[in-house]
Structure 1
Amino acid sequence: MNIITLSPENIAIEHICCSISSKSTETGVAAKKEWLSCRMQEGLRFKKLDARGKVFIEYLPAENAWVPIIADGYLYINCFWVSGSFKGKGYGKQLLAECEADALKDGYKGVVLIVGQKKKPFLSDKAFMLRHGYEISDSCPPFFELAVKRLDKSTPLPRFKDWARQGMGHGIQGIDIFYTAQCPFTVPYTKLLESVILASDYPVRLHQITTKEMAQNHLAPVTSYCVFINGKFFTNEILTPDKLRKIIETEL
């Protein structure tokens, strides 16, 4: 199958893989497309299989990435996903090769992305990256790692910024949820939490990260979605209203 590259000219008519036909995430898809359009002006590329499925890779210059890392001169993979019946057919390898070819052609020092120490939702598969020549250059509690392929072996390895390891600090009570429009599920699912928050006496605060600067100074390695409880990182998995209620009940 062919690879389609999204552009300002076709993004309005092309699907963005993650959420194709769900009406419940239409607002999130619109927000994601707007986010992508803005990032394309900063060098973002979104490539997908010409098929109706979740088979895509999204990357941009690391200096413009919405994560707290130091990776000057690298390309950063923002999202890389092959799911369902498309797995095991070489599409992931093909998409990764597209990214690495762009890095080589455009003079980047390498490619970097965040993975989990073990397989985790919303993170790329560490084992897959290691099989394709990547190495781990840094780690950040509780389970985040940077996987990198250097095209120039003399270049410094990428690392997390120091404050990505710190959390929000001590003396903070309540639940803090940070999110961006990078994922089409974050905006609509965060909206669903509002009724739970209003009905609870326990403090729950929502924080939308809206600029690259905010993201690059974030207090956790991931910015698309993350939850802190009492100032300590809890999860990067998107909460449903039921999950939030259970957390509140546990904390109370």
Structure 2
Amino acid sequence: MKEDGQTMSDDFINLTIEDLSDEHLCCIIRSRKPHKGIEAKRLWLSDRLKEGHVFRKLNAKAAVFIEYAPLERAWVPIIGDNYYYIYCLWVSGDYKGKGYGKLLMEYCLTEAKEKGRSGVCMLGAKRQKSWLSDQSFAKRFGFEVVDDTDRGYELLARSFDGTISSFGKNVKNEEIENKALTIYYDMQCPYVYQSIETIKLHCERNDVPVSFIPVDTLQKAKELPCVFNNWCVFYKGRFETVNLLDKSYLERILKK
């Protein structure tokens, strides 16, 4: 029960380098033992927080959080002056429908305005993708489609001063020379580690060539030949998805 004067916003904390090792990272993974994906994310965050990355979470063991960063330092192939980029805004389970998502989005937009940012942008799609934040929710806050790709991905932005952000020209390529299954990734998402392990095992058992390419610098992220939020998949030289793959999804791609 809240004491007099307390509000829902008091329930949130912003991660710092000092408390990063102790805080729950809000993802749906449940494990009492050390989880390699979560530890990899902690390492990734330890560097990003120094660059202005914000991880704001409900002060509970729950998947209620937002992650965003200055666009010029965000590991995505998106360009624009003086914007914030939202990697992820997530509210799950019993916490849905209680206003937490609204509070998180408003916090990001308010901070952007207070710091003189030109706007905020995020990755979306014409049809909602399971690993992307809800773009219909974002549009309630004034986000609009400002760029798109031939494969149905969209860049949503809320501009405060009329300037726009856009996908880098390289994003529109959506093709690479390597015809084998090729996956670009970084360790921002704790699920990336286990998705890689699943794919490696399946490809080894079925003699499927696969190439994993770590995106381990900002420059590599900005120069990627497709949209990217922490993961992207190519097969037969063509871009397929930014969704993480389970066995059934992988098999569907390999049948093409």
Fold conserved between structures, TM > 0.5: yes
Match of 1:188 in 2: 194
2:4 match? none
Distance 1:134 1:194 in 2: 38
* Maintained 8 Å contact 1:116/1:124: no
1:43-54 to 2 correspondence within 5 Å? 43-54=52-63
| TM-score, scaled to structure 1 | 0.91
> Structure 1 pair 216/193, CA: closer, same or farther in 2 (3 Å)?
same
Cα 1:212–1:24, aligned 2, differ >3 Å: closer, same or farther? farther
Q: 1:127 to 1:246 in 2, by over 3 A?
A: closer
Query: Does the 8 Å CA contact 1:180/1:210 hold for their aligned counterparts?
Result: yes
Whole-angstrom CA distance in 1 between matches of 2:119 and 2:111: 10
Q: Where do 5+ consecutive residues of structure 2 fail to align?
A: 1-7
Percent of paired sites with the same residue: 36
**What is the rounded CA distance, in whole Å, between the counterparts of 1:184 and 1:20 in structure 2?**
8
For residues 89 and 230 of structure 1, what CA distance do their matches in structure 2 show? 44
Cα distance in 2 for residues equivalent to 1:145 and 1:23: 38
Q: Which moved more, 1:190-199 or 1:49-58?
A: 190-199
Structure 1: 5+ residue runs without aligned partners?
none
Asked if residue 218 in structure 1 is aligned to residue 190 in structure 2, the reply is no
Instruction: Name which of 87, 90, 100 aligns with 1:91.
Output: 100
Alignment match of 2:169 (pick from 155, 162, 175): 162
Which of 112, 117, 132 aligns to 1:108? It is 117
TM norm structure 2: 0.90
- Residue of 140, 146, 150 corresponding to 2:149: 140
**Alignment map for 1:218-237 (pairs within 5 Å):** 218-237=224-243
Q: Is the CA contact 2:85–2:120 (under 8 Å) kept in the aligned structure 1?
A: yes
User: Deviation string for 1:46-97 (max 9, x for gaps)?
Assistant: 1011222211001110000111111110011111111122121111110011
Cα distance in structure 2, aligned partners of 1:242 and 1:131 = 34
Structure 1 pair 104/35, CA: closer, same or farther in 2 (3 Å)?
Answer: same
Cα RMSD (Å): 1.8
CA contact (8 A) 1:47 1:58 kept: yes
Q: Deviations over 1:179-199 (max 9, x none)?
A: 110100102220232232223
Contact 1:117 1:126 in 2 (8 A): no
The answer to whether the aligner puts 1:131 opposite 2:140 as a matched pair is: yes
In 1, distance between residues paired with 2:244 and 2:54?
25
- Give the whole-Å Cα distance in 2 for the aligned partners of 1:242 and 1:133: 36
Q: 1:247 to 1:86 in 2, by over 3 A?
A: same
- Number of residue equivalences: 247
> Partners of 2:69 and 2:50 in 1: how far apart?
10
Match of 1:16 in 2: 25
Q: Give the secondary structure class of the aligned counterpart of 1:121.
A: coil
Among 30, 33, 40, the alignment partner of 1:31 is 40
3-state SS in 1 of match to 2:208 = coil
